[in-house]
Amino acid sequence: MVQQRLIAEDEVVAKPDLATVCSEPDAIAAFDAGYPSHLVGRSLLVHADCFDWLAAIPEHAISSIVTDPPYGLKEYEHSELQKRAVGRGGVWRIPPSFDGHERAPLPRFTALNGKERAILRAFFVQWARLAVRALRPGGHVIIASNAFISQLTFEALVEGGLEWRGELIRLVQTLRGGSRPKNAEDQFPGVCSMLRGGYEPWGILRAPLPAGMQVSECLRIYGTGGLRRDWHGKQALDVIMSERTPRSERAIADHPSLKPQSFLRQVVYLSLPLGEGIVADPFMGSGSTIAACEAVGYQGIGVERSADYYAIARRVVPQLARVPVRAKPQLQLPIDDDL
Ligand SMILES: C[S@@+](CC[C@H](N)C(=O)[O-])C[C@H]1O[C@@H](n2cnc3c(N)ncnc32)[C@H](O)[C@@H]1O
């Protein structure tokens, strides 16, 4: 039996009790921390900078975080979004059209120099510290990255106090380039400068359990510490066969980093081991994670800094939550019993 408590017994407090939040959907509004907010379904959308919001909410209020942060920090700066809108300069580039289809601009992550990489590192260290404070002990963070930046960002998250629990691989072809050595394409026709991207890495991290506490006890006290088995009761694989975000979803939510519901619903679902508590997405964008929460029957809190994307999220979360998703084939992997 899970003890429906928000914080450890030795902490003294008058903070909202998560049990109340779950049984009375409107009580989630208490998590706006004074920022403009809107209830959408059983979830809450907050218009704020997530660093401020994470620092302002009660400690240990959140049971999991599923999020897709700005990979390169710069791409969601106002000035970069303006350059994207006029299609000139900045980090947003149109990928080459190899199949006759015009592509939407993607951020060019190699544009980060050493100083910017240091800023990125500091950003994720600080963010992780705030996430540890906001999460229940044992609460999971499942966070998108990309093959270029993941080494840096995951290490920074661990430095900020999160515990490394591995990766979730979203299988999908990415358009990161590198098919030829630049300016020497003809000289080295048999060479590519990197392998074609076939996955998106999502870090799996966890707020540390209190010293000496086992997962079983963490589950009993905080309802966290483990991950939920899939809806067939199976231990989910850490590789998910995914897809490009379907056109039907992109038509609903105009955001350059929209993730597919078919993937997010699986990730959100497994993030709450007992299906109880609040899932937060501090970099909400157009609200696809919160829509996934709504679709699987969870309560979510999405935080977004941009007024434009916040307005989009308010409008589209209910629509995205209703889109039907096609079942993807289950991956059948051979077992290597040496590993
Ligand atoms: C990669 S996008 C997430 C897109 C989301 N996965 C979706 O499907 O719409 C990151 C979002 O984080 C927002 N953002 C960046 N810095 C932020 C901050 N400090 N606080 C809150 N939101 C922030 C950006 O405006 C952007 O919409």
| Spans of all domains in the chain | 18-96+105-322
- With a 6 Å cutoff on the Cβ, whether 305 touches ligand 1 is yes
Maximum Cα interatomic distance, the chain, rounded to a whole number of Å: 70
pLDDT in tens, 126-151: 999 999 999 999 999 999 999 888 99
In 3-state terms, what secondary structure has residue 80?
A: helix
- With a 6 Å cutoff on the Cβ, whether 53 touches ligand 1 is no
pTM: 0.86
CA–CA separation, 222 and 215 (whole Å): 10
Strands (E), the chain: 37-40, 43-47, 62-67, 92-93, 106-107, 135-144, 163-171, 199-206, 239-241, 278-281, 299-304
* pLDDT at res. 108: 59
Question: What Rg do the C-alpha atoms of the chain give, in angstroms?
Answer: 20
pLDDT in tens, 61-115: 999 999 999 976 566 666 766 766 677 776 656 655 444 555 566 555 556 788 8
CA-283 nearest atom, ligand 1: 12
- With a 6 Å cutoff on the Cβ, whether 306 touches ligand 1 is yes
Residue nearest to atom 25 of ligand 1 (CA): 306
- With a 6 Å cutoff on the Cβ, whether 259 touches ligand 1 is yes
- With a 6 Å cutoff on the Cβ, whether 261 touches ligand 1 is no
Convert 43-58 to b/e letters by CB count within 10 Å (16 or more is b): bbbbbbebeebbebbb
- Of 281, 284, 286, 319, the residue with max ligand 1 atoms within 8 A of its CB, to mutate for a pocket test, comes to 284
Q: Distances in Å between the alpha carbon of 2 and those of 5, 23, 185, 223, 277?
A: 9, 15, 61, 6, 11
At residue 18, does pLDDT exceed 60? no
CA–CA separation, 138 and 161 (whole Å): 12
CB atoms near residue 116 (< 10 Å): 13
At residue 123, does pLDDT exceed 60? yes
* pLDDT at res. 27: 85
How remote is the CA of residue 71 from the centroid of ligand 1, in Å?
10
Q: In sequence order, which residues have a C-beta less than 8 Å from that of residue 71 and are 6 or more positions away?
A: 107, 109, 144, 145, 146, 149, 153
216 versus 193: the higher-pLDDT residue is: 216
How remote is the CA of residue 284 from the centroid of ligand 1, in Å?
5
* pLDDT at res. 154: 98
Q: In sequence order, which residues have a C-beta less than 8 Å from that of residue 134 and are 6 or more positions away?
A: 54, 57, 59, 60, 61, 62, 65, 280
Read off the pLDDT of each residue in 18-37 and give the average, rounded to a whole number: 74
Q: What percent of the chain has pLDDT over 90?
A: 68
**Residue tagged 């030795």 (tokens):** 10
* pLDDT at res. 295: 97
- With a 6 Å cutoff on the Cβ, whether 255 touches ligand 1 is yes
The answer to whether 254 and 320 are in contact (CB under 8 A) is no
At residue 16, does pLDDT exceed 50? no
Residues pairing with 203 in the sheet = 143, 167
- Of 73, 305, 308, the residue with max ligand 1 atoms within 8 A of its CB, to mutate for a pocket test, comes to 305
Read off the pLDDT of each residue in 194-218 and give the average, rounded to a whole number: 96
Comparing CA positions, the residue from 191, 192, 183, 177 lying closest to residue 96 is 177
Mean of all residue pLDDT scores within the chain? 86
At residue 177, does pLDDT exceed 80? no
Helices 114-134 and 150-159 pack at an angle, to 10 degrees, of 40
**DSSP characters over 82-132:** HHHHHT-SSSEEPPP-SSSPPPPPEE-GGG--HHHHHHHHHHHHHHHHHHH
- With a 6 Å cutoff on the Cβ, whether 281 touches ligand 1 is no
How remote is the CA of residue 120 from the centroid of ligand 1, in Å?
15
DSSP 8-state secondary structure symbol assigned to residue 218: H
Read off the pLDDT of each residue in 34-61 and give the average, rounded to a whole number: 97
- With a 6 Å cutoff on the Cβ, whether 51 touches ligand 1 is yes
Which CATH entry fits the domain spanning 18-96+105-322: 3.30.70.270, 3.40.50.970, 3.40.50.300, 3.40.50.150? 3.40.50.150
